[in-house]
Structures are given as C-alpha cells and as structure tokens.
Amino acid sequence: MTLLALREISKRFGATQALDRVNFDVAVGEVHALLGENGAGKSTLMHIAYGLLRADQGTVQAGATATSGFASPRAARAAGLGMVHQHFTSIPALSVGENIALAAGWRETGARAERRAAEAIARLALPLDPAVLVTSLSVQLRQRLEIVMALAANARILLLDEPSAVLAPPEVRELLRTVRGFANAGGAVVLITHKLDEVFAAADRVTVLRRGVVTRTGPMANETADSLARAMLGNELPRAPRQRSTPGDVVVQARELRLGDAPPATFAVRSGEIVGIAAVDGNGQRALLRAVAGVNSDGIAGGALDVNSPVAFIPEDRTLEGLIADFSLTENVLLGLQDDATRWLDWAARRERTTALMAEFDVRAPSADVAAATLSGGNQQKLILARALARAPRVLVAEDPTRGLDIRATQAIHERLRAAAAQGVAVLMHSSDLDEVLELADRVFVMTNGSVREMPQHASRDAVGDAMVGRTGT
Amino acid sequence: MTASGAERGRGWRGLLPIIGAFGLGVLLLALFLALAGFDVTAALVALWRGAFGSWSAIASATLVRAVPLILLGLGFTLGVRAGALNIGMEGQFALGAITATAVGVHANGMSPLIAIPMVLAAGAIAGAAWVLLPVVMRLRLGVTEVITTLLLNFLADAAVSYAVLGPLQEPLHIYPQSAGIAAAARLPRLLPGERLHLGLPIVLGVALLLALLLSRTRWGFRLRAVGANPVAARISGGIAASGVFASALLWSGALAGLGGAIEVSGVSFALYPNLSPGYGFTAIAVALLGRLQPLGVVIAGLLFGALEAGAGAMQRDAGIPAVAVQVVEAVAILTLVVLARRERSSS
C-alpha cells in the first residue's frame, strides 16, 4: 500500500530547474532510497513532501486525497510524515524527553513528558534515557533522538535527509538497522543519501536523481554499484590518477603533544605529502588542526609543536570562518594578507590580482567586485583555496575542504590539494567523509578522544573505520 | 574607482534611496497632518521656510543643527562598522562639552590658533575617556557596550548638573550655567551676521577623512572586516578583533566628544544643562539613514538638520507640535530598513 506519492513535481529556483516532473512514492514496509549528488534535487523534493517548500507543479498524496502539497510541516506531520534533517534540531539545554515532547507537540512538560517519551523510545528499541540532557549525548545518540522526535507524533512515513553525515561507519550500520526495523513494523522510509553503500545496505527500492530529473528507478535487485553510479553521475567519472610525491623536509613536528588528557603524540608532517586525519566529529581533530594552523592553541595541554611558516588554513565553515559574505571577492582575497599590504591600499592592483587568481583557480563569478555571498559553495571554496595558496604556504591545513560541494567542485579541490603537495606544500587535512581522507592522504592518522595514531600504509577502509570508533585488533 | 567592489557598490547611487526615503517620510507627514485636520499647505510651507526659506534659515538654523548630527552620526557609523554599538554618544557629547568649557573659560589672552585646537582636543579626549570603561568592561568581562554606554549617559547628565552648579558655575553663582568661554576659544563664524561657524568645514573634513580611511586604508579594511564578520576576521584574517573593536569605540567616543566641544565653542559659548536636545540619539537615526557610509551620513545629517530647523518654524507659524516631524524620521528609517532587506534577499 502506497503511503506517500509525489506526482509530476516541478520546482524552479531562479534560473535553475531544481526538479523537472519527478515521480516518487513509498509503500508500507519499504525503505526507498533517494540517491543523487549534492544539488541533484533530493532535499528539495523531500522539502516539498514535508511542506517546507511549495512545488510549482505536481501533486502530493499522503492518504486519500492528492493536494498541491502541504502548506506547512505541521500539516505534513498531521498527515503522518516525520523528517530527520541533515542538522540536529534538538535543543541541547533540554532533556531527551522534553525534546521529544516539543517535537510531538505534547502538552506535558518535565517528568510527565519524559514518561510519555519513554514509550516512544521503547517502540524503536533505542538506548536513550528520556531524563538525560541532550548536551551530554554523543553525536550518535543525538542522531537517534532526531529519529524519535520525527516519529513521536505517530508518523508512519519517515524522511531521512543524509542521516549518516556525522556518523562513523559502524554507527551508520546501526542507524540503518533502526530504519529497517521501523519499516518492518509497518512504516515507510525515504532515505536520502549520496552514498552507494548505504543504499545497498538498507534499501528495497531506489530512485536516482540527477540535476532535477529521475534518471533511474526500480527495485534494488536490478541494480549494481556501477548502474547506480552511472545514473547518479552521468557518464563522466574521470578519477584523477594518484601521483604520490616524494616527501621532503619535516615542516610540522609535534613532540609529546597532548590534547586534553589524551596520551602524548609525537608525529611529523613532511613537505610534499598529504596527511589525512580520520576521526568522528568531536575527537580532537579540530583542536589539533587549529593549533597547527596557528589559529587557536587552547586545546593543547602540553608538549611542543613546531610549524614552519607561512601556514595557510582552510576552515571548516567557509561562510562563517573562511569568508566575509558582504565583502567583495577582492576584499576576501586580501583578508589575511592585509598585513603585508601598504598602508594605503591599491585596490586596482588588488582587483587585478584577484581576477588573475579567479582565472587560475576557475572561480566563476561575474567579476572580482561581487560579494562573496553571491557565489556558489564550490566557487567560494575555490576562492578560499586560491587565497590560501597565494600565500605560498609551506604548510596547508584544511578542515573538511569539500563539505557540501558537488562532485565536480570536489574533484577540482582535490586536484588543487594534490598539485600543492606535488609542489612541496605539506598538506594536513581532515574530512568527515572517511572516503575522502582515504582517497587524498598519503598517510592516515586516526584520532579518538584526542589521541593520535598513525594507521599502517594500505590499511583497509574497515580497519580505519573500526579504529575511528575505538575498536582495535578485532 | 579605487574603492573595492562591495564598498564602492554603495557609492553615490546608494545615496539616492536616502533622499527618496526622506521624501516618503515628508509625504506621510503631510497625510497624517491632513487626517488630523491641520492645514497641510501652511504646515509644509512653514517647514520649508524654517529650513530653507531664507539664506538665514539655511546658515543660522539648518546647517548649525546639522553639524552635531553629522559628527555624532559619523561617530556611530565608525563604531558600527567595527561591530560596536555606541549608544552613549549623548554622554560623550556632554563630557566633551564640559571639558571644552573648562578649558575654554581659561583661554583668555591666548591666540585662537592655540585656544581652539586645545578646546576641541580636550572635548575629543574627554569623549574617548568616557567610553574607556565600556571598552574595558566589554573586553575583560564581556559586558555588552550597548548597556554600559547607555547607562553612562545618565552619569554624564549628572556630571553636567554638577559642573554648572559647582566648579564651572558662572561667577555670580545665580544661574545653573557656566561662564562664557574666552573669545579666543570661540569658533569663527563663516558668514557675517549668521550663526554658521567653522564647525561645518571641520565636520565635512572628518566625513571625507573617514570615508577615505574606511575604503582605502589597511586600517579601515581591518575595521570593516571585524565589523562584518569578527570570526572570519580573526580566523582567516589573523586580525586581533578586540583591539580593532576597542579602537573603533574609542574613536567613536572621541567624535562624540568633539561634537560637544564644537557645540560649546561654536554655538553656546558656555555650558548649560540640556545643551543637547538629544543629538546623541538622533544621530543614531542619522547614521542609519545615511546607510552607515560617511557621505550618506553627511546628507542624512543635513536633511535632519533641516527637519529640526523647520519643525520649530512649523510650531510657531502653523501651530503643529514640533515632535510631528519625528514621523518623517521614523518613516525614512523604516523605508531604508525595508529596502536593505529587499536588496539582501534579491542578491
């Protein structure tokens, strides 16, 4: 029995046709994966289903009547939909139970809300204590809480928007088990993802979106990794060949470095190599990278850290930390280099320099005078990278350098990082996407609770994944 | 053509909405007056006459009023561009006035070339000193400057009362006011028989200087970066945000203090209670209407000066309460806020 059906949905944002006559449905007992690159239209489609956006054309049917779409998420929830967003929506200062009550719209508060929440948690067989404050939960449990919150108002249809982004591989497996259990108990699940392995692990049916158009749909039995990848990416998939450079001098040397109360770490990064840090969110990688970048050494409890300058830094949050949104591209490129500039700034020369960098790094913008906020994420990141490399750094520190970028922009960034390493820059990077770390890095460090451990050369993906969650020697 | 894109994009073309918003305000004022049963034509004629109707209206009323509004508007602008909200300009103005008077009454026999700079510098230093406490409290204790600068206004008010009844009271000890400052400490008048004084060119010079500093210098770049995004300024720019913030707030106070000194040495020639009819607050409106650009602030300050000058005439000639012109101020600012939001969402 079909619980949710979207028919001929079209949506346009300005010049971009985000969705073009898309059909999608999900039935009782089914996990239906919605697969596609970033920007393919997956989230847009589910936002329409959930009443966050209105479609330009098409109908949404949940239950007996087809409408032009829910007017609000509240209406969608009333019709049995629940959505788990990419980012956490729980309130850290409230307890698990209070958050669930809030999401479900119950009138109870405090202990009574927590009792009622305990039932909702028990239905999903999750290890959550309703009395615990959300702020003390692990990332994994906060993720589970999001699911309980989405389902608390007796939802039968669960929309999961890239739920695995913050999880390590073993945690993802458990998440997918929870999802499966919900479907088997008579629910319907839409799993939005761009990761093929999750689709194979959990889905009964798959629909692939590419640039707002359905390129493939059908039961999983008919699919292979190759067929889905081609539907998702089109036929262009040129993986840049790895050219490993020979490492040179040591340019970053940590001796007995202690992060928090973790055991001391001694390691070196040499010029010409890419060292990747694999870690689940919140295991000290941020403190380490920022200390190396010279931005903030608050997380360092002791030991010595020698870093050759100049150091360039690509921060995790490009719109908040990397760029000044209201500043022009020229001004943003000057940011961080202003101390070398003359007291009176020569904007004409600065603009020329920026325009040259934009051409070199393929930053697409009408001119160097537009505000950075008007650029797409990929172009913003290329601009930040251009600025970082314009500093002629000996060390480049990068946090999640391709977060949220589409595959083309990701590849462009990867090529630049490799080229920088080939020219003798020491690159120290972290990514929340383990595959990105494995793909880019010459050497992989795993961080857990502030301790740093180098993985052996050619360690398998599973070995690294297990090390990330502290399972070793199994 | 040398300012950077984002700064340049808000250049001369950016000033047109200021006048448009102001015009809309006047239009709505007329509508309200009509609805309230006043004679609209008489009111607007009186408003116009009071502001621009004669050479004397311009040179003795509008421009004289505009001087402190522009200067304090620039002070507020300077703070905001670095992310600091200086709500205490009324108090810094008062401290500037007190200090300028204290110096000015002792300037007998000096050359004006020495006395005037001394008086103005004393006012500016006093204004900056008055924000020192808010700066320290913000940087050391994290107390927002909005609260501290605002509260210090009340203290400044008390300081003026104390000064005019105590140490600075006129020699006969009858009136709550100071003695007149020395002739040498008075700003020269620019036109015979009109009240317009040297303060106007000084203020225009400050505006021009500030415009250049903000758009063309490293100093201005750092300041704007901190104001636009202190996190990125620190992490990607390596800028010590708190230092920039402190210096901007101190300079903002200095400009407000200078405003008080100019008012004493150019207009009142003595210290009185209520020397400022709320310049420190109206100037916030001026700065916002001027879209936080120095040249915009000059235009907004002139418009507000005209409005305040005209309001007096409107009350005298048409019997309409002077506060009615606040409708214009409010509508103009709200219009610009709406425009700014629309610009942002369309980009």
Is the Cβ pair B229, A348 closer than 8 Å? no
- pLDDT for A473 equals 46
The percent of residues above 90 in pLDDT, for chain A, comes to 44
Neighbours of A99 (CB within 10 A): 26
Residue that wins the pLDDT comparison between A169 and B99: B99
CB A140 within 8 A of CB A127: no
Of B219, B228, B347, which has the smallest distance from its Cβ to A324's Cβ? B228
Of A338, A367, A384, which has the smallest distance from its Cβ to B221's Cβ? A338
Whether pLDDT at A37 is above 80: no
**Can you tell me the mean pLDDT for A4-11?**
93
Shortest distance, CA B289 to any CA of chain A (angstroms): 19
Q: Which residues of A touch B219 (CB under 8 A)?
A: 343
Is the Cβ pair B219, A367 closer than 8 Å? no
B54 Cβ under 8 Å from any chain A Cβ: no
Six-digit token string for B167: 């140490």
Whether pLDDT at B77 is above 50: yes
Of B5, B231, B232, which has the smallest distance from its Cβ to A330's Cβ? B5
B49 Cβ under 8 Å from any chain A Cβ: no
Is the Cβ pair B216, A347 closer than 8 Å? yes
- pLDDT for B182 equals 94
For the ranges B66-70, B104-108, B201-205, the lowest mean pLDDT is seen at B104-108
Of B7, B217, B347, which has the smallest distance from its Cβ to A344's Cβ? B217
Whether pLDDT at A431 is above 60: yes
pLDDT, tens digit (0-9, with 9 covering 90-100), for B257-298: 999 999 999 999 999 998 998 999 999 999 998 989 999 999
Is the Cβ pair A322, B3 closer than 8 Å? no
**Can you tell me the mean pLDDT for A357-369?**
91
B4 Cβ under 8 Å from any chain A Cβ: yes
What number of C-beta contacts closer than 8 Å exist between A and B?
Answer: 103
Shortest distance, CA B77 to any CA of chain A (angstroms): 17
- pLDDT for B281 equals 92
Neighbours of A422 (CB within 10 A): 14
Chain B residue whose CA is closest to A366: B5
Is the Cβ pair A342, B216 closer than 8 Å? no
> Is A267 in a helix, a strand, or coil?
strand
Six-digit token string for B205: 């010079």
Whether pLDDT at B341 is above 80: no
Shortest distance, CA B5 to any CA of chain A (angstroms): 4
- Measure Cα distances from A69 to A7, A55, A82, A282, B153 in Å: 10, 7, 15, 39, 55
CA atoms A255, A256, A260, A263: torsion sign: positive
Alpha carbons A2 and A55: distance in angstroms, whole number: 21
Of A336, A345, A373, which has the smallest distance from its Cβ to B236's Cβ? A336
Q: Which residues of B touch A365 (CB under 8 A)?
A: none
Is the Cβ pair B238, A339 closer than 8 Å? yes
**Can you tell me the mean pLDDT for A383-410?**
89
B13 Cβ under 8 Å from any chain A Cβ: no
DSSP class per residue in A454-465: EPPTT--HHHHH
CB B297 within 8 A of CB B15: no
- pLDDT for A293 equals 94
Shortest distance, CA A329 to any CA of chain B (angstroms): 8
pTM of this structure: 0.76
Chain B residue whose CA is closest to A371: B6
- pLDDT for A24 equals 95
- Measure Cα distances from A208 to A49, A190, A196, A215, B193 in Å: 17, 12, 11, 6, 82
B218 Cβ under 8 Å from any chain A Cβ: yes
Is the Cβ pair A313, B236 closer than 8 Å? yes
Whether pLDDT at B1 is above 60: no
**Can you tell me the mean pLDDT for A112-139?**
86
Chain A residue whose CA is closest to B226: A324
Alpha carbons A303 and A293: distance in angstroms, whole number: 16
CB B217 within 8 A of CB A345: yes
- pLDDT for B11 equals 55
Q: Which residues of A touch B5 (CB under 8 A)?
A: 328-331, 351, 367-371
Shortest distance, CA A288 to any CA of chain B (angstroms): 15
Is the Cβ pair B6, A335 closer than 8 Å? no
Whether pLDDT at A403 is above 90: no
Alpha carbons B100 and B107: distance in angstroms, whole number: 10
Chain B residue whose CA is closest to A314: B236
Q: What is the dihedral of CA B39, B40, B45, B46, to 10 degrees?
A: 60
Shortest distance, CA A7 to any CA of chain B (angstroms): 30
**Can you tell me the mean pLDDT for A458-462?**
80
Alpha carbons B261 and B281: distance in angstroms, whole number: 17
Give the amino acid at A355: T
Whether pLDDT at A105 is above 90: no
Shortest distance, CA B241 to any CA of chain A (angstroms): 13
Q: Which residues of B touch A333 (CB under 8 A)?
A: none
Alpha carbons A387 and A416: distance in angstroms, whole number: 12
Alpha carbons B44 and B33: distance in angstroms, whole number: 10
Is the Cβ pair B347, A374 closer than 8 Å? yes
Q: How confident is the model at residue B345 (pLDDT cuts 50, 70, 90)?
A: low
Shortest distance, CA B15 to any CA of chain A (angstroms): 18
DSSP class per residue in B125-147: HHHHHHTHHHHHIIIII---HHH
Six-digit token string for A136: 């003390």
Is the Cβ pair B221, A325 closer than 8 Å? no
Is the Cβ pair B218, A321 closer than 8 Å? no
B238 Cβ under 8 Å from any chain A Cβ: yes
Shortest distance, CA A434 to any CA of chain B (angstroms): 25
- Measure Cα distances from A404 to A165, A289, A410, B288 in Å: 10, 20, 9, 36
Whether pLDDT at A184 is above 50: yes
- pLDDT for A452 equals 93
- Measure Cα distances from A442 to A116, A448, B32, B324 in Å: 51, 20, 73, 72
Sheet (strand A2-13) strand order: A16-27, A2-13, A57-61, A66-67
Which of A443, A393, A400 lies closest to A423, judged by CA? Answer: A393
Whether pLDDT at B52 is above 50: yes
Q: Which residues of B touch A313 (CB under 8 A)?
A: 235-236
- pLDDT for B15 equals 74
B9 Cβ under 8 Å from any chain A Cβ: yes
Shortest distance, CA B211 to any CA of chain A (angstroms): 13
Is the Cβ pair B222, A338 closer than 8 Å? yes
Query: Which H or E run includes A27?
Result: strand A16-27
| Interface with A, mutate which of B13, B218, B222, B236 (most A CBs under 10 A) | B236
| Interface with B, mutate which of A297, A318, A320, A327 (most B CBs under 10 A) | A327
pLDDT, tens digit (0-9, with 9 covering 90-100), for B178-222: 999 999 999 999 998 899 999 999 999 999 999 999 999 999 999
